[in-house]
Chains A and B, each alone.
Chain A
Amino acid sequence: MSIVLAGPTLLDKIAFVVLAGSLLGFALLTITRKSAVGALMALVGTSCAMAGLYATLSAHFLAVLQILVYAGAIMVLFIFAVMIVSRDEEHPIALRGLFLRAAGVLATGYLFYRLAWIVVYERRTDVLATTITLPIPEYGSAASVGRLLFSDFLFPFEAISLLLLVAVVAGVLLARPTRSNRRSQRGGGT
């Protein structure tokens, strides 16, 4: 049994256009803002629009996780970093070596053009064809993704948990003030 969705309706199209447009707009704001807090808020908007796009792809579990992890956890990390390292820059765009960087951006743009051309040209292939039926009724739910995660992907799951532990320990170790630093700060204070 499979749930039949009635193709892309007008409402689907409106939702896609609004979500994709706000995603790209917020992304552009993120890389162009001068103040770090403004860029951070634009990044929150990017995460929310991305979660909406995940939901239109019927990846509901990932959509919820996107909000929780990005707009919750990663954002708090960034806000603390901005609080410690608060410094607005006068010249946000690097001027030294601008030629090389512009060449890099142009190369990326060319790559984007070629890949987009391939995608548009091959849009009738099976992989990207419009599928109006869900493969299984519970596609993208927490239960079915979790079942896959704990059966076929058990080793990557455990490995990523170890990686997160290592990252937490490394974060504490790196961000702690060292002894020489503390002495210099005390010397500067008196």
Chain B
Amino acid sequence: MPGHLYILVSLALFFIGTTGVLLRRNALFVLMSVELQLGAGSLALLAFARGLGDQRGHVVAFLVMALAAAEAAVGLAIVVSVYRSRKKIDLDEINELRN
């Protein structure tokens, strides 16, 4: 398939992920939307790697995958810890660090 179709799909996926990050209130859903954004980036990397015939894009996508795992571990730990102490995970109502 032509490479630009993959880039278009990746752009649409990134747009959906950004919309989720901006509009959802629940921290869990925001983390899921961040996963969508990272996946969109990986897809674009692999499409360009295929077009250029270069495997270094695969290595970078591999590193992004490991990074996504680390981000999910730390992010979910923060969500659980905030829920334990505040009993809420709405991002609008968590403002302990403000003022």
Residues on A lying within 8 angstroms of B by beta carbon are 8, 12-13, 16, 20, 23-24, 27-28, 30-31, 36, 39-40, 43, 46-47, 50, 53-54, 56-59, 61-62, 65-66, 69-70, 73-74, 77-78, 80-82, 84-85, 87, 89, 91-94, 96-97, 101, 104-105, 108-109, 112, 115-116, 119-120, 122-123, 126-131, 134-135, 139-140, 144-145, 148-149, 152-153, 156-157, 160, 163-164, 166-168, 170-175, 177-178, 181
Contact = CB atoms under 8 A, between A and B. Distances in A.
Given A54-B46, A65-B62, A160-B66, A12 B1 contact: yes
Contact of B69 (A61, A74, A81, A87): A74
B75 to A, nearest CB: 9
Nearest to B91: A94
A101 B91 CA distance: 13
A16 B91 CA distance: 37
B72 A74 contact: yes
Given A57-B46, A89-B26, 8 more contacts: A23-B9, A31-B24, A53-B9, A59-B46, A92-B25, A112-B11, A116-B11, A163-B67
Nearest to B15: A112
Contact of B28 (A36, A73, A129): A36
Contact of B24 (A93, A108, A123, A157): A93
Q: Top 3 A-B pairs ranked by shortest CB distance?
A: A31-B20, A135-B53, A167-B70
A128 B67 contact: no
A164 B66 contact: yes
Nearest to B54: A135
B97 interface: no
Contact of B23 (A31, A77, A163): A31
A61 B55 CA distance: 11
Q: Specify the main secondary structure of chain A where it touches its partner.
A: helix
Contacts, number: 244
Contacts of A170: 73-74, 77
B66 A163 contact: yes
B32 to A, nearest CB: 5
Contact of A164 (B11, B16, B69): B69
B26 A127 contact: no
B94 interface: no
A50 to B, nearest CB: 5
A178 B70 CA distance: 22
Contact of A39 (B3, B32, B71, B76): B32
